[in-house]
Amino acid sequence: MHIFILSGQSNMAGRGGVIKTYDHHLHRTTQHWDGVVPPECSSDLSTHRLSAALRWEHAHEPLHADIDTKKVCGVGPGMNFANAVRRRVDSPLGLVPCAVGGTAIKEWARGEELYENMVKRAKESVKEDDKSAIKALLWYQGESDTSSEEDAEAYKVNMENLIQNVRQDLNLPSLPIIQVAIASGSEYMEKVREAQKAIDISNVMCVDAKGLQLKEDNLHLTTEAQVQLGQMLAEAYLTHFHPC
């Protein structure tokens, strides 16, 4: 099995198709996923996901439903990524969802719960089968670091540390990492984007989400944009890390 870790915050977890409605009985706004799965994100029997209980199961949208549990999850980039990769890779695929909405990069530092859980899940994904291998980490995070200049300025060093730590802790010194340059955020968004694009470490790629359509909240990608992002991530992986 070719295994991919999906990590970061809400745009990796997926908010595509999550809509707000006003509940007149509860007198408050509630959110729910519209349940629409684009054909590009359909399930396939050869694609699996590691559940929150650390069990492999059939992968389907929303991939992060039992991981990012404090929010409503919808369509993210993971399923379309898997479908696009599967057409070129003659192996079953395993997705390891780890993203949690609203999280800043300092919460992904070594020793913090989010980071340690990601490493634990990644290790668990290859534990049972010595033929399975972690092929890449897909990372989409940074919006939570755009509201303070201090956080934005620290982003590059924090991300470089995360890359170094996760490679060390998984004993994969050249693990491919494909990070997404953010498409939304607050006052210091451009500073975080610059940091993301400036990271110059071997086997670290950056794909740019800027220009992809955002929902009305101007923060989260639409379902259609998530489909496009999944394709972009797959092309980056296949071009740079799986040449054939």
Structural domains in the chain, sorted by start: 2-241 (3.40.50.1110)
Active-site residue (options: 10, 125, 144, 184): 10
Residue 197 to residue 187: CA distance in whole angstroms: 18
Q: 135-170: per-residue pLDDT in tens?
A: 999 999 999 999 999 999 999 999 999 999 999 999
**DSSP E strands, 9-145:** 18-23, 28-33, 47-50, 56-58, 93-97, 133-140
- Per the annotation, the verdict on 242 as an active-site residue is no
The pTM of this model reads: 0.96
**Number of neighbours of residue 23 by Cβ within 10 angstroms:** 9
- Per the annotation, the verdict on 217 as an active-site residue is yes
Q: ∠ CA(237), CA(15), CA(179), 5° rounding?
A: 30
Distances (CA, A) of 192 to 30, 51, 184, 202: 31, 31, 10, 20
Active-site residue (options: 2, 48, 64, 220): 220
Active-site residue (options: 42, 129, 217, 240): 217
- Per the annotation, the verdict on 220 as an active-site residue is yes
* Tens of each residue's pLDDT in the chain, 244 residues: 999 999 999 999 999 999 988 777 878 888 899 999 999 999 999 999 999 999 999 999 999 999 999 999 999 999 999 999 999 998 999 999 999 999 999 999 999 999 999 999 999 999 988 889 999 999 999 999 999 999 999 999 999 999 999 999 999 999 999 999 999 999 999 999 999 999 999 999 999 999 999 999 999 999 999 999 999 999 999 999 986 5
Q: 38-50: per-residue pLDDT in tens?
A: 999 999 999 999 9
Report whether 118 contacts 138 (CB < 8 A). Answer: no
Closest listed residue to residue 6, CA positions, set 70, 75, 71, 53 = 75
